[in-house]
Amino acid sequence: MQFARTVTLALLVACPAAAWAKLPSPSPEAKAKAEAAAAQAKWSDKVAAYQLCQAQDKVAAFYYAQAKAEGKSTHPPEATPPCVDPGPFVQAAPGQ
């Protein structure tokens, strides 16, 4: 039992040392690939926000049309910024 505790303690002390080792810096190709992935993720976030904006506008329009048809009173809609289409994804030239 004591041996198992000693081995476990030794492993717990030795394993984090490997995690603290310094990794080599990424190559220029890896940096470019990471930047491209980050740019595409940013564009994807903009597309998701645009689609959410359109869906919210559609739901609000349906709600106000249905309320008007049923003769219910509604509060005036709050002014929101217009939905902005991010357009197609354009890969930036390397080095820019």
For residue 92, pLDDT over 80 is answered with no
Entry pTM: 0.67
The Cα–Cα gap between 31 and 54 comes to 35
Q: State mean pLDDT over 44-64.
A: 96
Q: State mean pLDDT over 38-44.
A: 97
The answer to whether the beta carbons of residues 50 and 86 sit under 8 Å apart is yes
User: In this structure, which amino acid lies at residue 3?
Assistant: F
Using the structure block, give the residue that is written with the tokens 């902005």.
84
Using the structure block, give the residue that is written with the tokens 């509060």.
75
Percent of the chain with pLDDT over 90: 61
Residue 12, token pair as written in the block: 């717990």
The Cα–Cα gap between 67 and 96 comes to 51
The whole-number pLDDT of residue 7 equals: 76
Q: State mean pLDDT over 36-52.
A: 97
DSSP code of residue 6: H
